């Protein structure tokens, strides 16, 4: 229990606060966690604050709105006034000197957070708090952890996670991982872990295994920034980590690069799990015209495609391999794009060789 929690718990029953009588989102998530970092049960995926929907209602998948905004909407609205209001409310909470005042101020801050879209204000709010240093770290920690523990609405929880990331202690890691176990909150939990934990990698890997939508995309993007990774994690990226319920294209290139797909395929013997994963990753990269990186962005692409074909030529024919090779033939036959590809290392000689090998593979009996 945080210091802020100890100060403010007694008056909660006596005052009307937005979260009173409601199950906190973190409590809900914790109650529905599956063992072995398998993620959430179906009941856990349905958040208690989900609004009523009708057949006419447009409903975003968990984390999808924040995911689309963070990946495809570069321009930012001017939220200076809203950030100023939130900052002032936060400062008021930190300066409260009695229980009644503290809980009333926190209720006011919570109401403001419910009206905000966290992704639009989180960076400016965090930067302002760090630059002004007007809140003692201990006070900020108490407020942030309390928000994360009691929030029954998603936007206050997201901003609570962001604030906690500024001052979190090692003992806060498990709370961040629990909160991030739902795709709606993974982005905020992952950033908080990276900002606050001495070694965030094990917690990020746990999160990556627990989530399967936009949350996994966000975590893999952050794992890619961490430099040296354990071999077991690299293999996981190639065998399973690339999968997500949104589009494999979002994670395919990162998993190929960070998982060191070229080195994996240049081994004399490659497991079927890695070879199957490589096929899925390469199929995604061979897709053109999508919203994510493609084979044209992969510096090791020529070597990787040659190595992949080398191994599938030597194992018993599989229907899945046929699909990958057919996709590769279509990509090789794209005359319009080839002059630019040659400049990126896909030589004419390499192209002729792969075309012949692909066609020989597709003409095999069986």
Examine residue 56 and state whether it is found in any structural domain, yes or no.
Answer: no
Task: Judge if 215 and 86 occupy the same domain.
Answer: yes
Does 184 share its domain with 315?
no
| Residue 257 falls inside a structural domain | yes
How do residues 283-311 score in pLDDT, each as one tens digit?
999 998 778 899 999 999 999 999 999 99
**What is the percent of the chain where pLDDT is above 90?**
78
| Shared domain check, 213 and 112 | yes
CA dihedral angle for residue 94, residue 98, residue 99, residue 103, rounded to 10 degrees: -40
Residue 59 lies in a domain: no
End residue of a domain, out of 188, 207, 227: 227
Quick check: 99 pLDDT over 80? no
Whether residue 192 sits in one domain with residue 130? yes
Question: In this predicted model, what pLDDT tens digit does every residue of 224-242 receive, in sequence order?
Answer: 999 889 999 999 999 999 9
pLDDT at 9: 43
Are 196 and 132 found together in one domain?
Answer: yes
Query: How does pLDDT run across 171-213, given as a tens digit for each residue?
Result: 999 999 999 999 999 999 999 999 999 999 999 999 999 999 9
Q: Is residue 135 part of a domain?
A: yes
pLDDT recorded at residue 104 = 87
Q: What are phi and psi of 246, to 5 degrees?
A: -100, -75
Same domain, yes or no: 240 and 193: no
Query: Is residue 58 domain-resident?
Result: no
Residue 58 contacts by C-beta under 8 Å, 6 or more apart in sequence?
none
Domain presence at residue 244: yes
Distance CA 237, CA 256 (A): 8
- Region 333-351: mean pLDDT is 92
Domain shared by 72 and 27, yes or no: yes
192 lies in the same domain as 250: no
Place of tokens 């490589």: 278
Q: What is the domain extent for residue 346? A: 230-366
Q: Is residue 354 domain-resident?
A: yes
Q: Tell me: do 72 and 164 sit in the same domain.
A: yes
Could you report the per-residue pLDDT of 37-84, keeping only the tens digit for each? 999 999 999 999 988 766 666 777 888 788 888 887 655 567 899 999
pLDDT number for residue 135: 93
Same domain, 190 and 279: no
Ramachandran assignment for 318, one of left (phi > 0), alpha (psi -120 to 50 degrees), beta (any other): beta
Residues in the chain: 366
Per the CB < 8 A criterion, the answer to whether 149 and 26 are in contact is yes
Helices 80-95 and 137-150, axial angle in degrees (round to 10)? 100
Tell whether 184 and 259 lie within a shared domain. Answer: no
| Boundary (domain end) residue, out of 227, 261, 286 | 227
In this structure, is residue 350 part of a structural domain? yes
Question: Considering 200, 227, 254, which residue would you say is the last residue of a domain?
Answer: 227
Q: What pLDDT was estimated at residue 54?
A: 67
pLDDT, tens digit, for every residue of 144-155?
A: 999 999 999 999
Whether 85 and 192 share a structural domain: yes
What is the domain count for the chain? Answer: 2
């Amino acid at each position: 229990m945080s210091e802020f929690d100890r100060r403010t718990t007694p008056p909660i029953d006596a005052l009307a606060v937005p979260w009173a009588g409601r199950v906190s989102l973190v409590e809900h998530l914790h109650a529905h966690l599956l063992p072995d970092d398998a993620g959430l049960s179906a009941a856990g995926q349905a958040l208690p604050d989900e609004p009523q929907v009708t057949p006419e209602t447009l409903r975003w998948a968990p984390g999808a709105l924040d995911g689309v905004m963070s990946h495809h909407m570069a321009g930012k609205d001017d939220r200076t006034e809203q950030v100023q209001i939130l900052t002032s409310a936060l400062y008021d909470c930190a300066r409260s000197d009695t229980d009644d005042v503290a809980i009333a101020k926190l209720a006011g801050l919570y109401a403001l957070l419910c009206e905000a879209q966290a992704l639009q204000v989180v960076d400016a709010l965090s930067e302002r708090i760090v630059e002004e240093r007007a809140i003692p770290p201990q006070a900020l920690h108490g407020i942030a952890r309390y928000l994360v523990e009691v929030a029954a609405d998603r936007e206050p929880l997201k901003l609570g996670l962001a604030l906690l990331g500024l001052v979190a202690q090692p003992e806060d890691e498990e709370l961040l991982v629990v909160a991030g176990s739902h795709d709606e909150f993974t982005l905020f939990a992952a950033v908080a872990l990276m900002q606050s934990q001495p070694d965030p990698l094990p917690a990020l890997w746990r999160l990556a295994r627990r989530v399967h939508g936009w949350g996994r995309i966000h975590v893999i993007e952050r794992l890619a920034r961490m430099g040296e990774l354990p071999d077991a994690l690299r293999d996981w990226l190639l065998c399973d980590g690339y999968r997500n319920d949104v589009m494999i294209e979002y994670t395919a290139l990162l998993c190929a690069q960070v998982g060191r797909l070229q080195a994996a395929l240049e081994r004399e013997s490659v497991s079927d799990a890695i070879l199957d994963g490589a096929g899925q990753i390469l199929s995604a990269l061979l897709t053109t015209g999508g919203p994510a990186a493609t084979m044209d962005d992969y510096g090791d692409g020529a070597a990787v495609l040659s190595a992949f074909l080398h191994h599938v030529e030597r194992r018993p024919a599989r229907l899945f391999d046929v699909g990958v090779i057919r996709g590769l033939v279509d990509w090789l036959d794209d005359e319009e794009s080839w002059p630019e590809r040659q400049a990126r290392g896909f030589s004419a000689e390499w192209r002729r060789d792969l075309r012949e090998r692909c066609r020989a593979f597709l003409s095999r009996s069986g």
